């Protein structure tokens, strides 16, 4: 199996705060479009959610849970074609859950977010015959 060589890039950053009731993925998609981001990533995130929508490994269904959740980790890539995000949260008892973040995650009190963009790269997604999914392709601008 061959792998492409990594490329160096400077980055720029966008900081924003999401408010109660905001849909996280919808807001991220709006930011990608508004700022014309071509190779974005989640650089940092802290906050809370009332609704958590996750797809667990190897499953097709989205699991929606409502309650009080603290974001432990939000990580992933974003581009004009879509996003690949993984979310880990803890509930009011400290129990953890995590998986592929799906639409329907809503902010409870706040969500402080830093989005980075690699200035010299473009992210696209193409079907991968090995995984069967649309996977990240990184090219130079």
**Closest to 18 (Cα-Cα) out of 39, 37, 42, 45:** 45
pLDDT in tens, 91-113: 999 999 999 999 999 999 999 99
Terminal Cα distance for the chain, rounded: 25
pLDDT in tens, 68-88: 999 999 999 999 999 999 999
Spatial distance between the Cα atoms of 61 and 58, rounded to a whole number of angstroms: 10
Quick check: helix, strand or coil at residue 29? Answer: helix
Q: Of all residues in the chain, what percent carry a pLDDT higher than 70?
A: 96
Spatial distance between the Cα atoms of 18 and 70, rounded to a whole number of angstroms: 14
pLDDT confidence band for 3 (50 / 70 / 90): low
pLDDT confidence band for 130 (50 / 70 / 90): very high
Quick check: helix, strand or coil at residue 132? Answer: coil
Spatial distance between the Cα atoms of 81 and 91, rounded to a whole number of angstroms: 32
Mean pLDDT score of the chain: 95
Residue-range domains of the chain with CATH: 10-123 (3.30.1330.80)
């Amino acid at each position: 199996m061959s792998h492409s060589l990594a490329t160096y890039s400077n980055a720029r950053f966008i900081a924003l705060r999401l408010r109660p009731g905001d849909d996280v993925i919808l807001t991220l998609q709006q930011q990608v479009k508004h700022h014309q981001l071509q190779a974005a990533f989640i650089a940092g995130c802290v906050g809370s959610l009332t609704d958590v929508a996750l797809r667990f490994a190897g499953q097709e269904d989205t699991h929606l849970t409502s309650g009080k959740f603290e974001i432990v980790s939000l990580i992933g890539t974003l581009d004009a074609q879509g996003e690949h995000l993984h979310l880990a949260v803890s509930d009011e008892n400290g129990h953890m859950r995590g998986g592929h973040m799906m639409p329907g995650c809503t902010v409870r009190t706040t969500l402080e977010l830093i989005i980075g963009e690699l200035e010299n790269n473009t992210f696209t997604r193409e079907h991968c015959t090995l995984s069967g999914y649309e996977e990240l392709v990184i090219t130079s601008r």
